[in-house]
Structure 1
Amino acid sequence: MRPEFCSQHAKPGMINVRKKRCCHPGCTKKPSFGTAGSKKAEFCSQHSKKDMVNVVGRRCGHPGCTILPSFGKDGTKKPELCSQHAKQDMINVHSKRCGHPGCTKRPSFGTSGSKKAEFCSQHAK
């Protein structure tokens, strides 16, 4: 199929033919799951088979591990390893940290009227 319209001018009932979609009939979600060892995403998480793995997202750098990485070197924002394989000097770079300089705890407290957590219990004002 060849694209005819942009999303703004598409007529009702038209689908995006440029981006790959889940192979399950009638599903319009983006695929992320495929056969282990393959880089081809065929199904969305809802329609993936039990033996399929996420082939799109980044994985832990430890050989054979398929868990999402959260830990990396302090000062970087790139997660390299999961919590199970993280080295001693690594910190959680995926989750937000307390706003107090040098604190690596996760925030739970914020200012009154705000829904944004900014500080851990130790540094809450």
Structure 2
Amino acid sequence: MKSVMPFLMFQDGQAEQAMNYYTSIIEDSSIINIVRYGENEVGDEGTVMNAIFKLKDQEVMCIDSNIAHQFNFTPSFSFYLNCDTEEELRVVYEKLVDGGTELMPLGDYGFSQQFAWINDRFGVSWQINLP
């Protein structure tokens, strides 16, 4: 079956750490599959060659890049998470902002009850919303 899914390329071997972090703070999320580099392969042994994880109903693919790139994540691509309750929004917000950067602090911007835009500790951008 063909599909389209977000793809995250992590540097410095952070893919598994990020997957574990995201699936621990977002309800109904899980790691589906991890394929690791083995001995004498092009990537560092034990790092993520390819992985798929699920955030609610959205599957996401990620890797640990074995090549040093001059670019990283940008806020022009972000995950947009609609939360069901204010408590869910606050828990996710507090965890994602820890070690990250607020692009738009948590507040009422007129288009929803509460909204925040954050770059997390891995540099991935998140828009968190309570409709």
Bin of the TM-score, shorter chain as denominator length = under 0.3
| Bigger relative contact order, structure 1 or 2 (CA pairs below 8 A, ≥6 apart) | 2
Structure 1 or 2: more helix by fraction:
2
- TM-score computed with the length of structure 2 as normaliser: 0.24
The structure having more radius of gyration, on CA atoms, is 1
